[in-house]
Structure 1
Amino acid sequence: MTDNVPVKAAQTSFQIINELRRMEGAGVSELAAALDKPTSTIHDHLRTLEEEEYLVKSDGEYYIGTRFLGIGEQARARQKVYSIARQEVDDLAKETGEHTNLMIEEHGRGVFLYKSRGPDAVQLDTHAGMRVPLQTTALGKSMLAFRPREEVDDIIDRHGLPQVTDKTITDREELYEKLDEIHERGYAYDDEERVKGMRCVAAPITNDEMRAIAAISVSGPKSRMRGKEFQEDIPDKILSSANVIEVNLTYS
């Protein structure tokens, strides 16, 4: 029986792709050392991936190719919430002047599906396709708060609660308490839990069963995200946008 047995050659190819992304390009020897695999094995995989146009080679180093753009865009376009929420995310960025994001959950991680920058937004590392631990963001916590506790347990068992900053929630019981608060309040806060100096407010986008299928957020510097703006004004705007998206999802 071969059920549930990973294909090692395929695993190696994806390990190479992920490592190239992390290293932002590398040579054969560098990749072999990083992955602790024979140089000949890495070379064969690299040549195959290059021939299939998933990688490009320049000055002896390999890089992720643009063929992945088409794959990623097709995956994003398949998400109904993306096409419906995009305008609301853009409008929210213009109204607040800050970063706004749309996130979904996939394989137990938060995936940024779309982002928009307002005129006052600072530079951040987020981009479409970026995957993060769910409990490190207001977006992720807002989705977890509107998922069954058994599902949250499964995600934690699979991925743990990795620490990103000194304010990241890493304790299961503390997270449960926060999720109960978020569920009652309807939105979530992130106070420097993924990025130092940044705060975020997020609300879930739920279906008819009140299960979170996505989330939207506004994030900005701690110096601007404070007081009534942070505690009332931005949450009200996000809840309003989430409601519009939910209605459009229901009747589209």
Structure 2
Amino acid sequence: MNRNEGASNGQVKATRLSLAILDEIRRRDGAGVTELATHFDCSKSTIHSHLRTLSNEGYLVNGGGHYSIGLKPLQLGGHARVKHQLYQVAKDEVDELAEETGESSKIIVEEDGRGVYLYQARAKQAVTTDSHVGTHVYLHSTAVGKCILAHLDESRRNEILDEHGLPQVTANTVTDRATLDSRLDRIRDRGVAFDDGERIEGLRCVAAPITAGDEVLGAISVSGPKKRIDDETFRTTLPELVRDTARIIEINVTYS
């Protein structure tokens, strides 16, 4: 039996490999059999079997031996998102915030210790980045993520930080635990978080948490280039807009 085909701890290794192949193809924006076999240290025949199966099921598209992500995952992700309560009540508010600010607005939630972009809206002049629906990010490197960390209970916050650490994403990313803890305290006090190039250099972001009682459901943000978001806008104007929008969403969650 191939080492990737067995089961361990109740998990099917073949399934894990198929999912890992999908994620690697997404990361590379397309890949072929040889490079995937090298990456996973598997035989070409094993990789080819997984690719063929994934292609037949619609998860991959085979373009002459170069595989890219198909539309089947979009169907699954779309179903999951529509079923998410926060998406249902926040979508219109995110659209309005993007239109009002002329920038990009996002909703993020926490899953498995990472931040996941649930929805985003962009104004016409908004900067296009690598962030899209479904993108996973380290919570400590974004304003939205720090909002979530700040409002999680201490044991869950420690669990996440112990598992994922504080990897440096840009020169501005906070990688010191004491510094991060201090910033999380300030976020709890003022109800807003800032990201000044911590995940993407030159991009500023302001975020506010969305809570229901003692539970943090996610966070909402506005982001844009530093050349357009001056200090006054960054520290005063946007925080008020984002906080107000978060409160509206919280009311909608309560009565939905």
Write out the 4+ residue segments of structure 1 that deviate beyond 4 Å after TM superposition: none
Partner of 1:133: 138
Partner of 1:123: 128
Residue 75 in structure 1 maps to residue 102 in structure 2: no
CA–CA distance in structure 1, aligned partners of residues 231 and 174 of structure 2: 23
Partner of 1:179: 184
User: What is the identity, as a one-letter code, of the residue corresponding to 1:142?
Assistant: C
Residue 110 in structure 1 maps to residue 115 in structure 2: yes
Where 2:100 maps in the other structure, the secondary structure is helix
CA–CA distance in structure 2, aligned partners of residues 229 and 108 of structure 1: 31
Partner of 1:8: 13
Partner of 1:33: 38
Deviation at 1:204, TM superposition (A): 0.4
Partner of 1:220: 224
Deviation at 1:39, TM superposition (A): 1.2
Q: Which moved more, 1:151-160 or 1:116-125?
A: 116-125
Paired residues in the alignment total 250
Deviation at 1:170, TM superposition (A): 1.1
CA–CA distance in structure 2, aligned partners of residues 40 and 159 of structure 1: 34
Q: CA RMSD in A?
A: 1.3
CA–CA distance in structure 2, aligned partners of residues 231 and 54 of structure 1: 44
Report Cα offsets for 1:22-80 as digits up to 9, x if no partner. Answer: 11111111110122211111111111112222112111111111111100100111111
Aligned-residue identity in percent: 49
CA–CA distance in structure 1, aligned partners of residues 209 and 89 of structure 2: 15
CA–CA distance in structure 1, aligned partners of residues 42 and 178 of structure 2: 40
Alignment of 1:89-104 (within 5 A): 89-104=94-109
Deviation at 1:156, TM superposition (A): 1.0
Q: Which moved more, 1:124-133 or 1:4-13?
A: 4-13
User: What is the identity, as a one-letter code, of the residue corresponding to 2:188?
Assistant: H
CA–CA distance in structure 1, aligned partners of residues 124 and 74 of structure 2: 27
Task: Provide TM-score, normalisation by structure 1.
Answer: 0.96
User: Out of 35, 49, 68, which is 1:44 matched to?
Assistant: 49
